[in-house]
Each structure stands twice: as structure tokens, then as C-alpha cells.
Amino acid sequence: MEYNVIYIFYHNTTTI
């Protein structure tokens, strides 16, 4: 469940 949150958060911070 929390795996998705970490994945999106990580991807969001690396998009810059």
C-alpha cells in the first residue's frame, strides 16, 4: 500500500 506512495514520491522528486 505504501509502496505506491514511495514510488510516486520518488519519481516526482527525480523528474526535475
Torsion sign over Cα 9, 13, 14, 15: positive
pLDDT at 5: 86
pLDDT tens per residue, range 1-16: 678 888 888 888 766 5
pLDDT at 1: 65
pLDDT at 8: 87
From first CA to last CA, the distance across the chain in angstroms is 25
pLDDT at 15: 62
Query: How distant, in Å, are the alpha carbons of 1, 2, 5 from that of 13?
Result: 20, 17, 12
> Of all helices (H) and strands (E), which one includes residue 15?
none
pLDDT at 9: 86
Q: What is the DSSP letter of 14?
A: S
Alpha carbons 15 and 2: distance in angstroms, whole number: 20
The pTM score is 0.13
